[in-house]
Amino acid sequence: MKKLSRARPVQELAGYMAAGYLRFVKNTTDFVRVPEGLETILLDHWPPIIAMWHGQHIMMSFGRPPGRPASALISRHDDAEINAIALRHLDVEAIRGSGSEGVAGKMQRRGGVQALRAMIQALQSGRMVVLTADVPKIARIAGDGIVTLAKLSGRPIFPAAVVKNRRFDFQSWDRASFPKPFGKGAIVLGAPIFVAADADRSTLESARLAVQAGLDDVHKRAYDLVGDRDPGADLRKSS
């Protein structure tokens, strides 16, 4: 079964169906956008870096300004191939790579350096870049990768949340949420976080904490708007 799931035709079909399902979810959900003029704010800071939490990123493409190009960082793992194919069908370029980092450490080389270069190139070409701020198995703790990207690219980071009241929550390390059609949704964008090109270690740490706090804030506000509670709100406390 595992071998079958990694067969290219099967992955292509699964990715195509996943993209179609997400379009259906988007078209049947009543989304509120906060702040008002969210898309204009993004366009005024184009191209931006969009930060999200692991497990809450499945609907990442829903808040993109129409017609604007976007790229998203996707794991190099074979299991993420379907995600990359789904993004392609949603007109989002997949950048394959992952950066594993400690809270105040350096991005390690597991595709991280190559992915960092690819994200910088995407931003330089005018593409919005979306990535999760935390790394696998270290839920809700922002890593150094995203602030390093902001420093090297000169582009601002926007914490963002896209949530729904109708969803299935997994008991996974990141409390991942899978959206269901219909119901209410919220897309919340936080204030931009800028990182200077000459930022030292202390400044980068302050920016990392700002991203972390910003993501906590937008997720709380988004879930409040749909009358629910963030399933991963207590993950950092329990880790």
pLDDT of residue 110: 53
pLDDT of residue 105: 41
Contact 46, 55 (CB under 8 A): no
Contact 64, 26 (CB under 8 A): no
Model confidence at 109: pLDDT above 70: no
Mean pLDDT of 131-156: 95
Report how far apart the first and last C-alpha atoms of the chain are (Å, whole number): 33
CB atoms under 10 Å from CB of 214, counted, come to 23
pLDDT of residue 102: 42
Mean residue pLDDT across the chain: 92
Point out which residues pair with 132 in neighbouring strands.
Answer: 52
Tokens of 19: 């993209």
The band of 226, judged by pLDDT with boundaries at 50, 70 and 90, is very high
> Is the pTM higher than 0.85?
yes
CA separation for the pair 139, 26 (Å, rounded)? 26
Chain segment 31-50, per-residue pLDDT in tens: 999 999 999 999 999 999 99
Query: Domain segments of the chain: what residues?
Result: 2-25+37-231
Tokens of 24: 């259906």
pLDDT of residue 238: 63
CA separation for the pair 188, 214 (Å, rounded)? 11
Mean pLDDT of 220-225: 99
The band of 81, judged by pLDDT with boundaries at 50, 70 and 90, is very high
